[in-house]
Structure 1
Amino acid sequence: MSVVDKKLKIVQIITNMEHMGGAQIHVRDLANYLQSEGHTIHIVTGADGNAHQLHDNISIHCVQHLIRDLRPIDDVKAFMEIRKLLKMLKPDLVATHSSKAGIVGRMAAKSLHIPVIFTAHGWSFTDGVVRSKKVFYRFVERIAGQFTSGVIAVSEYDRQLALQQKVLPDRKIVCIQNGVPELVKHKRAVASSKTLNLVMVARFAHPKKQMDLLQSLCHLQHLDWTMQFVGDGPELENAKRFAKASGIADRVRFEGRQEDVTTILERANIFIFVSQYEGLPLSVLEAMRAGLPIIATNVGGMEEAVTTDNGILVRVGDLVGLQKAIEKLVVDYDLRIEMGKRGRELFKERFTFQKMMNETVDYYKSIVGREDR
């Protein structure tokens, strides 16, 4: 049977599936789609297990020693556990996600001569990462690249960065931009209420910078707005305390972790995303899908999704620029509507889930076919 027609057994490895971050959502949606298409999917993750809704036939394997922090003894044990699992499962392909799982998983797969792919949801040596960490991870990825069959970068920015840093040769890396599923019924974002609803969807953890957004909002109290934060994380309580101390707590809502943000986005007027560094955030694409204008920090592949047609990009740490961008969209109704419309058009053209999946499945099969020869 040709590999084009063959149904594959695929093991997806990610450091944790406990959070609702972009990489976890990507793996969830990818696994569900592949399983529904007749492929056999196994997910290998850390000891905290899975917090996502998955297809009934997808098997979850928890590896006790697969953790995010660098711990050599645990990392060796994780390698042995994963290798044992892969030896038992005998997959056609291993697909790894996140830095730790990407390193350990690739080593385990290659030791068994199994084709292995790494999806870079944003490099750990990108601009904005502290220099010592950047140098370390660049070195590690150069080594890991030698036992990698192929790499998927979720933005062209990240593909070019890997080439510029000589992490991988051009033949080993492709760009498959992130995509999100279209809604069964698209409901246009609310845009006519007097008090505008601003929203940011992201975990309260590095590299996200919700505190920068809160500081900028302190200078915009003369405007009619409410701010809605969706997400949990270690910095959430600090943000709540800051909002209270700054006198804006009555205009800021902390929604915590939400599995489905579709309704929240449909009721919003402006989407804001502030971060130190990124790949290509799914939440920005979801906001474009909802027809929202975007304000975001110009990091990673953000320029590929947010242009002057559908949003405003500001420099990292530019609180005045962020403040001005918010004020501009709050006071200009026509600009908000036009940007939201253009953003939705761009989503349908370039960032649909089906486009991403078609390209991903084709790449998976090309790797398996190449390794089989």
Structure 2
Amino acid sequence: MKIVQLITHMNEIGGAQVHVRDLSKQLAMDGHPVTIISGGDEIIADGLLIEEVTYMHSKFLIRKISFIKDFLAFLEIRKKLKLIKPDIVAIHSSKAGIIGRIACWSLRIPSVFTAHGWAFTEGVEKKKQRLYLSIEKWVGKLSMKVITVCDQDRNLALRHQVLPSEKIITVHNGVMDSKNTSLEKGNREVVKILMVARFEKPKQQLELLEALLHIKHLNWQMIFVGDGSLKRASAQFVQENYLGHKVTFLGSHSNVAGLLSDADLFVLTSAWEGLPLSILEAMLHSLPIIASNVGGVKEAVRDTENGFLIRNNLSELLSILIENELLRKNMGEKSREIYEASFTFEKMYTKTISTYRNLIVSGENG
């Protein structure tokens, strides 16, 4: 199969970008020629480049809605697809998802759109919800197949009548097993809490810091990994509340797997999500999870089994796991068990490539 992966940008590492990278790498290793077309800045972020894959840049494909640039992006992507002549185009992220599906429809090229969380999901501002819902309903008529990364997102699309059920398939996110030999973490006094996320609007790091302030007397060390526009506000909160000795900001980090291996607890306080890869990576490292009950999170974090879902009680949940080492250990082991059963990269890859093949065959027969 000759495959194009189309995504709005590859400028920074996020769930969709890591998904495209890992999927493309495995496809190339299995002998499928892969081209990644991305917009945004022309520079590809460190950690997202793959030697075996061809990269092409779309200068007009940007995140913000711009009717002129969006139309030019459509023409540009259409031209690139005519040149490449792929057997299938796999499309990721909202903006690329709209433009890419229209371009593929116009060229009669089989395509599949992976929704890494809908832009009309609960938690997103209402005006944006309404806009993207109306767009998705329209472009849904041109869609051959849509992959949702969790059942919650599939049900959300069906409830809003975005697509008929036969056009939607759930393929749960999966991550490659990068687990190192477990470090001996028992009997150390300070509990290491880790959050890996961009400092942007949906992630709500300040909510976590406010919860930790209420339990500052307990023995914990908070480690934030990630950069973004809201990082300064979090750093200011830490300074103003004299938490500098307990909170560390690492910025972007090249060895997240090592940090996960050394952590005791993983936290994610998002306002909305699809099915976050960061949680799955924490689970493969046998960590207990505290996370917001949004999107498909509850499909991975089973409340009271391998962690807790937040219900306006974040400080209380943090206290429970900080003070109970045995509970952390038992929940962490359950996380690893759930990961192996449902969220491995191999399971995701097998279902995804099967979807590609079925679409190509139906396209040829159609």
Given that 2:200 and 2:229 are in contact with CA atoms closer than 8 Å, whether structure 1 keeps it comes out as yes
User: Counterpart in 2 of 1:59?
Assistant: 54
Deviations 1:99-120 (A, max 9, x none): 1000011111111110111000
- Separation (CA, whole Å) in 2 of partners of 1:181 and 1:63: 29
User: Counterpart in 2 of 1:228?
Assistant: 223
Q: How much has 1:54 moved relative to structure 2?
A: 3.3
User: Counterpart in 1 of 2:195?
Assistant: 200
Give the direction of change, closer, same or farther, for the CA distance of 1:17–1:338 in structure 2 (3 Å limit): same
Given that 2:179 and 2:261 are in contact with CA atoms closer than 8 Å, whether structure 1 keeps it comes out as no
SS at the partner of 1:45?
strand
Q: How much has 1:186 moved relative to structure 2?
A: 4.3
The correspondence for 1:253, drawn from 248, 252, 257, is 248
42-51 vs 177-186, which deviates more?
A: 177-186
SS at the partner of 1:180?
coil
338-347 vs 132-141, which deviates more?
A: 132-141
Query: Is 1:181 matched up with 2:176?
Result: yes
Deviations 1:118-146 (A, max 9, x none): 00000011111122111111111111111
Q: Which amino acid aligns with 1:190?
A: K
- Separation (CA, whole Å) in 2 of partners of 1:38 and 1:191: 45
Give the direction of change, closer, same or farther, for the CA distance of 1:9–1:302 in structure 2 (3 Å limit): same
Query: Is 1:355 matched up with 2:347?
Result: yes
User: Counterpart in 1 of 2:338?
Assistant: 346
Give the direction of change, closer, same or farther, for the CA distance of 1:117–1:196 in structure 2 (3 Å limit): same
User: Counterpart in 2 of 1:364?
Assistant: 356
Q: How much has 1:333 moved relative to structure 2?
A: 1.1
- Separation (CA, whole Å) in 2 of partners of 1:11 and 1:31: 9
For structure 2, the residue ranges without an aligned partner over 5 or more in a row are none
The correspondence for 2:233, drawn from 238, 248, 268, is 238
Query: Is 1:78 matched up with 2:73?
Result: yes
User: Counterpart in 1 of 2:125?
Assistant: 130
Query: Is 1:38 matched up with 2:50?
Result: no
- Separation (CA, whole Å) in 2 of partners of 1:279 and 1:262: 22
Give the direction of change, closer, same or farther, for the CA distance of 1:53–1:21 in structure 2 (3 Å limit): closer
- Separation (CA, whole Å) in 2 of partners of 1:30 and 1:53: 11
User: Counterpart in 1 of 2:89?
Assistant: 94
- Separation (CA, whole Å) in 2 of partners of 1:264 and 1:202: 13
- Separation (CA, whole Å) in 1 of partners of 2:319 and 2:282: 19
The correspondence for 2:282, drawn from 284, 287, 300, is 287
Deviations 1:12-32 (A, max 9, x none): 111110111101100110110
SS at the partner of 2:278?
helix
Q: Which amino acid aligns with 1:250?
A: H
Q: How much has 1:184 moved relative to structure 2?
A: 6.3
Q: CA RMSD in A?
A: 1.1
Query: Is 1:164 matched up with 2:159?
Result: yes
For structure 1, the residue ranges without an aligned partner over 5 or more in a row are 1-7
- Separation (CA, whole Å) in 1 of partners of 2:186 and 2:160: 44
Deviations 1:201-246 (A, max 9, x none): 0000121110100111111111001000000111111111111111
SS at the partner of 1:250?
coil
- Separation (CA, whole Å) in 1 of partners of 2:143 and 2:295: 23
State the percentage of identical aligned residues. Answer: 44
The correspondence for 1:28, drawn from 3, 21, 26, is 21
Deviations 1:255-304 (A, max 9, x none): 10123300001110010000000000000000000010000000000110
The correspondence for 1:311, drawn from 270, 290, 307, is 307
186-195 vs 215-224, which deviates more?
A: 186-195
User: Counterpart in 2 of 1:265?
Assistant: 260
Q: Which amino acid aligns with 1:19?
A: E
Structure 1 segments, 4+ long, off by >4 Å, are: none
- Separation (CA, whole Å) in 2 of partners of 1:40 and 1:191: 47
Q: Which amino acid aligns with 1:369?
A: V
Deviations 1:178-213 (A, max 9, x none): 011113644257343111100000000121110100
User: Counterpart in 2 of 1:3?
Assistant: none
Given that 1:42 and 1:61 are in contact with CA atoms closer than 8 Å, whether structure 2 keeps it comes out as yes
TM-score by length of 2: 0.97
